[in-house]
Amino acid sequence: MSTTLSETEAHVAAPLPETMTAVVVHGPEDYRLETVPVPLPGDGELLLRVEAVGVCASDLKCYHGAAKFWGDENRPAWAQTGRIPGHEFVGRVVAGDPAALARRGLALGGRVACEQIVPCGDCRYCERGQYWMCAPHAMFGFKEFDGAMAEYALIPERALTHPVSADLAPQHAAYAEPLSCAMHAVERADVRFGDVVVIAGAGPIGLGAIAGVRQKNPLKVIALDMSDDKLELARKCGADLTINITTEDAIARVKELTDSYGADVYIEATGHPSAVGQGLNLLRKLGTYVEYSVFGSDVTVDWSIISDDKELDVRGAHLGPGCWPAAIKLLESGVLPMDEICTHQFPLDGFQSALDLVGDTAGASIKVTILP
């Protein structure tokens, strides 16, 4: 157990307040703005002044009580009450153990983004280098460690940090988390030059996947969504062709474009159950299906499509392992339309409005961010 350092023992940029404002989870649909103590970093730890924290679809599903987070008859609860939510964040180092700063190559005032998982380092997966599947699965804002919907966030010794340019707007820098996740989905797809790749959804993950697939330069990148505005943004992120599924039959259109064979790769990034069957049906035989979404309800499909009909390669994707440097580099390059992706920013006391906007089924937002 780490020992808490006093301000005189730690490197501190400026005197720290004793308390801060933070969102605290008391259970599904019971998140409250409270005054809590400012944590002081212990051995190996850092303290960040939070600049931005993105609101993820998984945050919303946790808020609404999805069984993945709070359990059901088939699984125990994973999320914890009493936690500060928020796992997509960037901030400035304002205090830290001198050794921790040196180990990470940081100085006070440095800007970093943190990977969402805090791996244990001891389980089978961590020992094999597969840290993103860490068995205890401690994660900022959900389990064991407080997140960043607060003025300050404590960074434990085991956390994985990445430097981010000071030139990026805070909300753009915080997008490194969903972008790294999307790029991992692209890596799982094993995209090749001759592939026709279909990405379902032009939200934060889908747009990131489009941008990531574009880096692989396949034959054709096709984006699906229900919003013409989002599809226009998909084109700016690298889609060659877009299909509005409310006005066109996506399966028929993809078959038409591929001599009736179907797409080589399908990446699902909507979280809507109907997108699963859509993907299975528009893929060619021996195609690859990649699932990234967190679903709020069960999904039922005809598994014979996967097996007897097409012998599909179905892959899951979780978090953004190994993709953070590439994601940050892409953000820093300035090629993505970040002002159009990061549509809404809220102050910390507007967290409920931020959650509600992410949950707006009319699709009024793309990336919603809180700026504490």
Percentage of the chain modeled with pLDDT above 90: 86
Instruction: Give 220-283 as a DSSP string.
Output: EEEEEES-HHHHHHHHHHT-SEEEETTTS-HHHHHHHHTTTS-EEEEEE-S--THHHHHHHHHE
What are the pLDDT digits (tens) for 220-271? 999 999 999 999 999 999 999 999 999 999 999 999 999 999 999 999 999 8
Asked which of 41-45, 69-73, 140-144, 187-191 is least confident by mean pLDDT, the reply is 69-73
Which helix or strand (DSSP H or E) is residue 54 part of?
strand 46-55
Confidence of residue 4 (pLDDT cuts 50, 70, 90): low
Given this model, what pLDDT does residue 15 score? Answer: 84
8: pLDDT strictly greater than 50: no
Asked which of 4-8, 34-38, 141-145, 151-155 is least confident by mean pLDDT, the reply is 4-8
What is the rounded average pLDDT of the residues 187-194? 97
DSSP 28: T
Asked whether 135 and 124 are in contact (CB, 8 A), the reply is yes
Distance, in Å, from the CA atom of 262 to the CA atom of 282, rounded to the nearest integer, reads 5
Asked whether 163 and 171 are in contact (CB, 8 A), the reply is no
Please report, for residues 153, 185, 187, the alpha-carbon distance to residue 198 in angstroms, rounded to integers and kept in the order given.
38, 13, 14
361: pLDDT strictly greater than 90: no
Given this model, what pLDDT does residue 10 score? Answer: 60
9: pLDDT strictly greater than 60: no
**Residue 299 CA, distance from chain mean position:** 21
Asked which of 141-155, 193-207, 236-250, 293-307 is least confident by mean pLDDT, the reply is 293-307
| 3-state secondary structure at position 89 | strand
- Joined together, the tokens standing for residue 21 give 């404002």
Distance, in Å, from the CA atom of 229 to the CA atom of 114, rounded to the nearest integer, reads 31
Confidence of residue 295 (pLDDT cuts 50, 70, 90): confident
- Joined together, the tokens standing for residue 365 give 């937002």
Asked whether 172 and 338 are in contact (CB, 8 A), the reply is yes
Given this model, what pLDDT does residue 152 score? Answer: 98
Which of 54-68, 201-215, 296-310 has the highest mean predicted lDDT (pLDDT)?
201-215
77: pLDDT strictly greater than 60: yes
3: pLDDT strictly greater than 90: no
Given this model, what pLDDT does residue 2 score? Answer: 47
The set of residues, in sequence order, having a beta carbon less than 8 Å from that of 202 and lying 6+ positions away, is 210, 223, 224, 225, 227, 230, 231, 233, 234, 242, 366
Nearest to 359 by CA among 112, 84, 31: 31
- The position carrying tokens 């040196």 is 102
Confidence of residue 6 (pLDDT cuts 50, 70, 90): low
Nearest to 292 by CA among 205, 194, 222: 205
90: pLDDT strictly greater than 60: yes
Asked whether 212 and 182 are in contact (CB, 8 A), the reply is yes
What is the rounded average pLDDT of the residues 31-40? 96
Asked whether 279 and 268 are in contact (CB, 8 A), the reply is yes
Q: For the whole model, what pTM was predicted?
A: 0.92
Given this model, what pLDDT does residue 13 score? Answer: 64
Name the average pLDDT for the chain: 94
Instruction: Give 101-167 as a DSSP string.
Output: HHHTT--TT-EEEE-SB---S-SHHHHTT-GGG-SS--EETTBEE--SSBSEEEE-TT--EEE--TT
Given this model, what pLDDT does residue 333 score? Answer: 96
